[in-house]
Amino acid sequence: MKKHRPPAGLINHSDRGSQYCSRDYQALLTKHQMRPSMSRKGNCYDNAPAESFFSTIKTELIYLQRYKTREEARKAVFEYIEIFYNRKRLHQSLGYLSPKEYLEEHRKSKKQKVNSKVQTLASTA
């Protein structure tokens, strides 16, 4: 924390391991104005989506190159997420659509349902 000096309000997510639940660790978070966040008790899958994303970005981007500066790394991560991951990368959990395509399909479907209801109401009036 001395080296990186995270900003006040940083959310520190962890599992419910005894080291993270300890008074000393919690006091350290409080001292540095961090907010603790933990998985629910007995739910090992609580953090699975985040863990999966971090594994993916490390495998597909981070481990493939060395960054000369933090700014270079920050820019590469931003471009990966905003340009590739959200707009182009196909996601198995989304039926092999990109998040952007999935959202567009969801919006179209929702709009079609609303239009169908309006037509039904208009024909019964």
**pLDDT tens digits for 54-64?**
899 999 999 99
Asked whether residue 60 is assigned to any structural domain, the reply reads: no
**pLDDT tens digits for 5-34?**
788 898 887 877 788 889 999 999 999 999
Asked whether residue 56 is assigned to any structural domain, the reply reads: no
Asked whether residue 78 is assigned to any structural domain, the reply reads: no
Asked whether residue 24 is assigned to any structural domain, the reply reads: yes
Asked whether residue 84 is assigned to any structural domain, the reply reads: no
Asked whether residue 77 is assigned to any structural domain, the reply reads: no
Asked whether residue 98 is assigned to any structural domain, the reply reads: no
Give the domain extent around 38. Answer: 1-46
DSSP the chain: -TTT-PPTT-EEEE---HHHHSHHHHHHHHHTTPEEEEPPTT-TTTTHHHHHHHHHHHHHTGGG---SSHHHHHHHHHHIIIIIITTT--BGGGTSB-HHHHHHHHHHHHHHHHHHHHHHHHHH-
Asked whether residue 18 is assigned to any structural domain, the reply reads: yes
pTM above 0.85, yes or no: no
How many domains does the structure of the chain reveal? 1
